[in-house]
Structure 1
Amino acid sequence: MIRPLLIAVALSALAGCASTPSTPRSSAAVAPYRDSVDLNGRIAINYSRDGKKESLNGTFSWHQSQANTDVNLISPTGQTVAVINVTPRSATLTESGKPPRTAPDLDTLTAQTLGWTLPVSGLRDWLQGYATDSEGKRFVASPANDNVITRDGWKLEYMSWQDESAKVPQPKRIDVTRIALGQAVEDMQIRIVIYPADQ
């Protein structure tokens, strides 16, 4: 249960880890925020717990409406291993062959399942290039303004873009690092590669 949930919440919002060749930076702002988004992607998570390094990989589909977010997690062999549904009133994790697990929100669900909180409620914004910075101000990513530390202690680095020369580029690869996790997990890095749902 812990492994699929960790991938899910690292998403609920999000890898191929190949680096992208450096290209000249544009000053264009990220595409406007959308309430409804359909994306697919890959994710890699590296973390340490009790001095032991762990690594997880998988793919996902992300369906977001104004109120709800649905995430399907797919194993490297192509099987759906977990489905997460987040609404304004609850977050539910469903794994194959197991009863659904529900909590009032995603952060509470992670605390109940993992034993420690993984605050990822900002991922609806992060996948589109938006965040709330450490001072509570709205951050808008662009190829020229590509990193921020969020209010809840995550460092976001927008490493590449779907089309960096576009007037309003959309994020392609995001590297996420937890600045301070607390006692249970010593460090965590997440790499997300995003591509449109039709790919």
Structure 2
Amino acid sequence: MPITRRLTLLALAATILTGCATTSTNVATVGAYRDSIDLNGRLAVNYQKDGKTESLNGNFSWAQRPGHVDVELVSPLGQTVATIAVTPGSATLTQAGRAPVSATDIDGLTQQALGWPLPVSGLRDWLQGYAVDAGGQRFSASPAHNSVTTRDGWRLRFVEWQNADAAQPAPRVIHAERAAAGDIQDLSIRIVVNPAGQG
């Protein structure tokens, strides 16, 4: 084989290998964490309590600002089930027809009032594709790296993405599971985040 052709083939092979290497290191990850977000979507909750299987479905809206989170839980028929307001050191949950209830621990408050724990403190991160893992390290999800066990025992899987092929995709479907939380067993929460602009 003439040396010129051999060099051409070597150069072509090197170019292909370089392209493959570049592609393999170009892994999409979630965008930078935002202190202010407005989201809405759907929740499906399943758990065991007192030997019975319980299932709940509904919609939610989430408004987050620095130092403040407002959550609204809505039934499938459009009725407000509960509103939650969280500020540093305080959380208040109001259910239709009942007096507001306040506590310092929002996750404990939701379990007491709703009968199951809505992990509001974790959702601040999860809805944007972040978490704190079992070792206390910051976790950033991506389509290629999509599961983690959190410091407080939640097993998360980011199973679907908005704009999955983009450089900075956003979570679309999140599965959160926990073996036990107080008198609740086998708790699973499926969170579906609506794309921006959809109610």
Alignment TM-score > 0.5, same fold? yes
> Is residue 71 from structure 1 mapped to residue 95 from structure 2 by the alignment?
no
- Identify unmatched segments of 5+ residues in structure 1: 1-25
1:141 maps to what in 2? 141
Aligned residue type for 2:186: D
Instruction: Give the distance between the partners of 2:111 and 2:98, measured in 1 at CA.
Output: 19
SS of equivalent residue, structure 1 residue 109: helix
Which segment drifts farther, 89-98 or 158-167? 89-98
CA RMSD in angstroms, aligned pairs only = 1.9
- Identify unmatched segments of 5+ residues in structure 2: 1-25
Q: Quick one: higher RCO (CA 8 Å, sep 6+), 1 or 2? A: 1
1:54 maps to what in 2? 54
Instruction: Give the distance between the partners of 1:105 and 1:163, measured in 2 at CA.
Output: 35
Instruction: Give the distance between the partners of 2:117 and 2:192, measured in 1 at CA.
Output: 24
Instruction: Give the distance between the partners of 2:117 and 2:160, measured in 1 at CA.
Output: 29
SS of equivalent residue, structure 1 residue 122: helix
Instruction: Give the distance between the partners of 1:46 and 1:114, measured in 2 at CA.
Output: 13
> Is residue 124 from structure 1 mapped to residue 124 from structure 2 by the alignment?
yes
Whether contact under 8 Å (2:172, 2:194) holds in the other structure is yes
Q: How many residues align?
A: 173
Provide, for residues 4-24 of structure 1, a one-character-per-residue CA deviation record: whole Å limited to 9, x for no partner: xxxxxxxxxxxxxxxxxxxxx
**Structure in which a larger fraction of residues adopt helix:** 2
1:173 maps to what in 2? 173
Provide, for residues 161-181 of structure 1, a one-character-per-residue CA deviation record: whole Å limited to 9, x for no partner: 011001100000000110343
1:164 maps to what in 2? 164
Whether contact under 8 Å (1:38, 1:196) holds in the other structure is no
Instruction: Give the distance between the partners of 1:87 and 1:181, measured in 2 at CA.
Output: 23
Normalised by the length of structure 2, the TM-score is 0.81
Normalised by the length of structure 1, the TM-score is 0.81
Whether contact under 8 Å (1:155, 1:179) holds in the other structure is no
**Displacement of 1:74 after TM fit?**
0.9
**Displacement of 1:127 after TM fit?**
0.6
2:102 maps to what in 1? 102
1:187 maps to what in 2? 186
Percent identity over the alignment is 59
Whether contact under 8 Å (1:61, 1:197) holds in the other structure is no
Q: Return structure 1 stretches of 4+ with deviation > 2 angstroms.
A: 110-120, 179-182
User: Which of structures 1 and 2 has the bigger CA Rg?
Assistant: 2
